[in-house]
Structure 1
């Protein structure tokens, strides 16, 4: 029997553990897995594109576990009352192929993206960072804001979205968070002025230039979250040219990240090298750093492990028969026969 975790289970897990504690624990899982980078069988995600969006499969495995995530990205889904991003995934044993967990990953993707952002910013942002600009105030914005506030000590977040209702929604959710000051802004330029960290988490599938070179300031760290598929960027190429750029898995980032607009020899650093101490992160207080984040399967591997462990601890989830449990492993056809029919056959 596999463990089934619904959106209600993950929401209950977050409430019972508390979001700061869950995010803190998730960062620990992420760091542990990134430090084992060489143990994983890695591949860029497999994408199917349409005019309105993309559906992607994100597999990864080590010698013990295999995971995958199914995820979409459809920026116009709001017109149908649907999320831009929807996802589910599974965790299985490598030794037997037996599925252990089948879980929602829509809420969980927002959690792991925020935790990954903080994990990286701990090494790339200035240690004295207190102010963040948050450009794009949609579905993932609260997760980013709370992760940076609780885990990195951000005290002020300057907000901008082309949809004022999105900013109002974020402020409604977070206005009572102790020690967090929210400042709505009228433009991206206003929001990023004086910000120590700039997080971009926009949804449009277009080659946008949300952050431009004239907005850069010495010591700024840019957490670029929204550029995550071919034809979708957020940063002007001049921003990348003036910055030290870090990525998750370079072969995937070259296709999907903001660096897709750069030549093939444009220098980037995979973040696991920073975490392992092979290369430095931020070199000085004046350096401008960019995390060109597209989301990588290893982060979902960490998320699924955490979901499994926390669900066991809290008694959440339900069992589901994803594969038959047969008395005779060679008698699959026998699963189609009802107990009553089998009794009648034996009696005949």
Structure 2
């Protein structure tokens, strides 16, 4: 039996811990894995693009465990009442090839993206940062706000979205959490939102080369957390922001970011720093308070590996909450796979010689 975490499972796990504590714990797991960057088999994700979206597979392995994530990105889905991003993932044992965990990753991707954003900002933003502009107030925005409030001490969020109802939704959800010292300011434009901000997070969904931030919006000392530009032809920053003499651009995995990140707008020899180099001390993050740091975030498979490993650990710690799915056959004789389908000895086959098979379902799979 393979362990299984569905929507009810992630609700239970995060509900038990609280989203802030979950994100902080996940950020610690991601940092630990980035610190052993050299252990991982790394590749850019495999993407199949269509005019309306993308479907991707994101694999990696450290030689002990293997993981992959299936994820889509369809910005127009919200008009159909559907999510822009959905995902699931698998964690497997390399020695046997057997899957250990099948898990939802739609909610978990939002949690891990927020964890990665806050982790990068801890190393790149000014330590005295207290004000953040949050541009793009859709499905990922609450997670980003919780992460930055909890892990970096952000007290004021300046909110903007072209859809004012999305901003209203974000404000309601954050106010309902009762986060201590939290201040929210609704803004009428991206330019207004960035005024006085120490950190600017952009998390928009349009699959196009959008310009959410322009050079004149950027002040010395800002940290830019560019999350929404995460596939070919999808960007959020004017290229001249990246070219600033006082700017430092940090990426997750350079070969993937060259294809999908903000730096897809620039020549292949444009200098960037991988986040793992900052953690190892091989490269500096922020070198001066007035420097502009840019985290060109596209999401990398290592972060999903960390999330799946973290979820697997939390699931195993909760014996009563464990769920399983009969994904892999359990055989007395591993050479007799057909025996699963053969009728029991002495019992007749089904009508017209068809084999009668009874499927085993775990308690959470039985129809209501």
TM-score of the two chains, using structure 2 as the length reference: 0.92
TM-superposed CA distance for 1:344, in Å, is 3.8
CA displacement 1:5-50 (0-9 Å, x = unmatched)? 0011101111101112111111110011000100000110000000
The count of residues paired between Structure 1 and Structure 2 equals: 343
Q: Per-residue deviation at 1:63?
A: 1.2
Matched, 1:342 2:345: yes
| Cα deviation digits, residues 171-197 of structure 1 (max 9, x gap) | 000113221111100000000011000
Tell me whether 1:269 sits opposite 2:295 in the alignment: no
Give, in angstroms, the shift of residue 277 of structure 1: 1.0
**Is 1:128 the counterpart of 2:128 in the alignment?**
yes
**Cα distance in structure 1, aligned partners of 2:116 and 2:166:** 23
- Greater alpha carbon shift after TM alignment, 81-90 vs 172-181: 172-181
Aligned-pair CA distance for 1:317: 3.8
**Aligned residue in 1 for 2:209:** 207
- Please show how residues 43-82 of structure 1 align to structure 2 within 5 Å: 43-82=43-82
Can you list the C-alpha shifts for 1:199-229, whole angstroms capped at 9, x where unaligned? 0000000001101100010100000000000
Within 5 A, what are the aligned runs for 1:102-117?
Answer: 102-117=102-117
> Structure 2 matches for 1:1-348, cutoff 5 A?
1-175=1-175, 176-242=178-244, 243-315=247-319, 316-338=321-343, 341-344=344-347
* In structure 1, C-alpha distance between the alignment counterparts of 2:110 and 2:347, rounded to whole Å: 53
| Preserved CA contact (<8 Å) 1:6 1:317 | no
Unaligned residue ranges in structure 1 (runs of 5+): none
Gaps of 5+ in 2: 349-368
State the distance in 2 between where 1:8 and 1:222 align. 34
Contact 1:4 1:318 in 2 (8 A): yes
1:104 is displaced (CA, Å) by 0.2
Matches of 1:91 and 1:128, distance apart in 2: 38
Alignment RMSD, CA only? 0.9
TM (normalized to structure 1)?
0.97
Query: Deviations 1:261-295 (Å, cap 9, x if unpaired)?
Result: 00011000000000111111100100001000000
